[in-house]
Amino acid sequence: MQRLLGKLKIIGPGILVAATGVGAGDLATGALTGSILGTAVLWAVLVGALFKFALNEGLTRWQLATGTTLLEGCIRHFGWLFLIGFLFYLLLWSFFVASALMSACGVVMHAILPIFGSPENDKFYWGILHSLIAVGLIWTGGYRTFERVMLVCIGLMFVTVTATAIIVRPDLSAILSGIFVPSIPDLRGDGLTWTIALIGGVGGTLTILCYGYWIREEGRCSLDDLSNCRIDIASGYLMTAIFGMAMVVIGSRIQLDDGSPARTIVLLAEELKASLGGFGPAAMWIFLIGAWGAVASSLLGVWQSVPYLFADVYESLTAKIKKRERRPVSTCSRPYRIYLLGLALLPMLALTNDFKTLQKLYAVFGALVIPLLAIILLILGNWTKAIGSNSRNPLWSNVVLALALAFFCITGYLAFVPAKMQPNKASLDPPMSSQHVVVNIDR
């Protein structure tokens, strides 16, 4: 029993990464892709998890080798311009992400317990209630309470969604083929676009940086801890990949139209109820509970982790201005708590806006993180003077980081270049209503 508890302690921060990185966007992207392409693209979920693993492993190795967070290292080596630019980005990202997460919690809770009179009121009041409860847990409970609550949420999320994937009775041979025989259905030329969306929809974005603060809370501070951290990160992204594949499997069994991610979750639950006969009502409620676990844990994880980033920037800035030593970043520090309150309260102003608009802004700001992080890790991770000769990126890391950078550049091209500038586009075929790509926007 003692040995089992020790193993579970190793994978604690990795579980937090998995829980924080999976939200409404992941659920909707997986389900919609499965509905349109089927299980042939299950391999893409594993590729996305591998990309996020390489990014997290690189920043962890940097922190354990240098004793500084990756953010602190960027500020030190890239200077004031990086610091100011990151702070501006963080403020905008926080507002749009927090608004969308509160909205997602409100929409899902409307499907579970509609008690405020209308969908708009449920979205507003349930979203605010989730935000305030998250602040209370973080403010009074500290890291350990946060960790325990997150473990409960991800347990609900993981067990219920995988159970739903089993209930829909998928074709096992098709699942194995989708994992081990990579292919992309043509879908009138849009199969590649949907597959790219699925790869990008695995795990988080800016919250990847927060893993470094969680391992500090666990007392991991030297390269001797690197092997445990790798096991930890791999466990977290394996769980994320299984969850993502389960969503593709569920989506492959029903027909869905596109829409906002949270609304897609509700439609998915209704389709499960209608299409599974006697199993339908049970499947619907099992899935809705898992969906709530996903969006609630994502909100709680963002509320706990993102203030670390602001506190880190604040300490770097004041240390430079006052020419003093940096103070440790703490959940009890004034900068952390001020940002926590701002993150939880100010985005409430946007809850009356259209949810789909928030998701679009959220997607744009989240999409910028991954290629920038890949570039930073390719530079700092190979810079002997900065990280040391024994801690430089291994060959496999450089290869995966380069592939991740190339992938997100292609994604950006497909997402932002006007359709008329893209070759072989819909001039040959009429557009299909379900071919709108839901880009993951998390965290």
**What letter represents residue 35's amino acid?**
S
For residue 131, pLDDT over 50 is answered with yes
pLDDT for 200: 74
Is residue 4 in some structural domain?
Answer: no
CATH number at residue 394: 1.20.1730.10
- Each residue's pLDDT tens digit, 286-326: 889 988 998 899 999 999 999 999 999 998 888 888 878 87
For residue 432, pLDDT over 60 is answered with no
Task: Identify which of 53-57, 283-287, 353-357 has the greatest average pLDDT.
Answer: 53-57
Alpha carbons 176 and 169: distance in angstroms, whole number: 14
Alpha carbons 315 and 321: distance in angstroms, whole number: 10
**pLDDT greater at residue 238 or residue 442:** 238
How confident is the model over 47-60, as a mean pLDDT?
Answer: 93
Is residue 7 in some structural domain?
Answer: no
State the chain's mean pLDDT as an integer.
Answer: 82
How confident is the model over 234-254, as a mean pLDDT?
Answer: 89
pLDDT for 386: 92
Is residue 17 in some structural domain?
Answer: yes
Tell me the pLDDT band of 99, cut-offs 50, 70 and 90.
confident
Tell whether the torsion through CA atoms of 240, 244, 250 and 254 is positive or negative.
positive
How confident is the model over 106-135, as a mean pLDDT?
Answer: 90
CB 361 within 8 A of CB 96: yes
Is residue 428 in some structural domain?
Answer: no
Q: Within 10 A of 324 (CB to CB), how many other CB atoms are there?
A: 10
For residue 437, pLDDT over 70 is answered with no
Tell me the pLDDT band of 347, cut-offs 50, 70 and 90.
confident
**pLDDT greater at residue 276 or residue 223:** 223
Alpha carbons 305 and 320: distance in angstroms, whole number: 24
Please list, in sequence order, all residues whose beta carbon lies within 8 angstroms of the beta carbon of residue 14, skipping any fewer than 6 positions away. Answer: 231, 232, 233, 234, 235, 236, 237
pLDDT for 192: 76
Is residue 435 in some structural domain?
Answer: no
Among residues 207, 232, 199, 179, the alpha carbon closest in space to that of 26 is found at 199
How confident is the model over 112-134, as a mean pLDDT?
Answer: 90
pLDDT for 42: 93
For residue 7, pLDDT over 90 is answered with no
Is residue 5 in some structural domain?
Answer: no
Task: Identify which of 36-45, 198-207, 390-399 has the greatest average pLDDT.
Answer: 390-399
How confident is the model over 222-244, as a mean pLDDT?
Answer: 91
Domain containing residue 21: 13-421
The answer to which of 190-194, 220-224, 378-382 has the lowest mean pLDDT is: 190-194
The answer to which of 121-130, 188-197, 263-272, 294-303 has the lowest mean pLDDT is: 188-197
The answer to which of 82-86, 273-277, 330-334, 352-356 has the lowest mean pLDDT is: 352-356
In eight-state DSSP terms, residue 361 is H
For residue 422, pLDDT over 70 is answered with no
pLDDT for 154: 85
Instruction: Look up residue 323 and give its two tokens.
Output: 């020419």
Is residue 438 in some structural domain?
Answer: no
Please list, in sequence order, all residues whose beta carbon lies within 8 angstroms of the beta carbon of residue 285, skipping any fewer than 6 positions away. Answer: none
Alpha carbons 443 and 441: distance in angstroms, whole number: 7
pLDDT for 361: 53
CA atoms within 13 A on the CB side of 42: 25
Alpha carbons 257 and 206: distance in angstroms, whole number: 29
Tell me the pLDDT band of 365, cut-offs 50, 70 and 90.
low
For residue 233, pLDDT over 90 is answered with yes
H, E, C per residue of 147-181: HHHHHHHHHHHHHHHHHHHHHCCCCHHHHHHHHHC
For residue 43, pLDDT over 60 is answered with yes
Cα separation of the two ends of the chain: 35
pLDDT for 421: 46
Q: Whose structure tokens read 């992400």?
A: 97
The answer to which of 43-47, 188-192, 301-305 has the lowest mean pLDDT is: 188-192
| Number of domains comprising the chain | 1
pLDDT for 427: 35
Please list, in sequence order, all residues whose beta carbon lies within 8 angstroms of the beta carbon of residue 263, skipping any fewer than 6 positions away. Answer: 107, 355
pLDDT for 4: 47
**What letter represents residue 417's amino acid?**
V
How confident is the model over 322-342, as a mean pLDDT?
Answer: 88
Is residue 206 in some structural domain?
Answer: yes
